[in-house]
Amino acid sequence: MVLATDWVRLLIVCLVFTAAACAIAWFTGLTTPKPFLKAAVRAAVQLAAVSAVITVVLSHLGLTGIFLVLMAVVATVTSARRTKTGKRGVWVALPILVGTVPALGLLILIGLLPVEGIALIPVGGILIGGAMTATTLSARRALDALRDRHGEYEAALALGFMEATAVRLLVRHPAAEALVPPLDQTRTVGLVTLPGAFVGMLLGGAPVWQAGALQIVVLLALLAVEAAAVSTVVELIARGLVRRASAEEEVRLT
């Protein structure tokens, strides 16, 4: 049973961490406190809502599927807004799903992931979240490179390169920077980080070897999913399907 004093302590700690993030960003000139406050409030509201319905969702496979679709939709909308791609932002759903769906399918097919909400939602959320982050970071870096190195793009065209090939030459390496965080996480797992799947299974009473086995599977699946996301982003940008929104579209989006 959770006591009232526990809730008070929880609230105080959350307020302290949020205030610290806002103060650091404000006084060092990184950004305004607004995005931190919005993120904290949204996280609290969303987790409260999920906590209220998660028991029902986990007990019905159909609702689990709907919840996974909702995760993918929210990830797509978030990535599209972060990359400022306007109406073309619908295309970012492809890099988010291109690796996630096959990865989940393979885990289910070989029997490592039971077809139950208690397993599908956490692992699906991890993979969708990783794909979203990789998509956002790679698209932002690639689109920035395409804008800042436009002269090199035109030079490549003058040398006879096809448009898509010229774009790939410019954006491939900047986009690949999005793979640095997952690579570092995988390299340092157990030494620097103890990811959620591992800790959650330990807290749930699973043997250490079983928790470690699941975690390595999740980490390697994440690498595959995020590599697929980044390569798909590069291809979408090369083909002109993903571009920055016009000034008018950006105004409407904000």
244 closest CA partner among 32, 53, 89: 89
188 shares its domain with 100: yes
88 shares its domain with 200: yes
Q: Can you say how many angstroms the Cα of residue 31 is from the centroid of all Cα atoms in its chain? A: 22
Q: What average pLDDT does this structure show over 132-158?
A: 92
Structure tokens at 176: 């690949």
Rg of the chain on CA atoms, in Å = 21
pLDDT tens for each residue of 48-85: 888 778 778 878 888 999 999 999 999 999 999 999 88
CB atoms within 10 A of CB 93: 17
161 shares its domain with 108: yes
The parent domain of residue 160 ranges over 61-253
Q: What average pLDDT does this structure show over 21-39?
A: 92
Alpha-carbon distance values, 252 to 38, 81, 139 (Å): 20, 11, 21
144 shares its domain with 32: no
pLDDT band at residue 231, thresholds of 50, 70 and 90?
very high
Tally of structural domains, the chain: 2
24 shares its domain with 81: no
94 shares its domain with 218: yes
54 shares its domain with 71: no
The residue type at 238: A
98 shares its domain with 150: yes
39 shares its domain with 95: no
157 shares its domain with 212: yes
CA angle 94/95/96 to nearest 5° reads: 90
22 shares its domain with 108: no
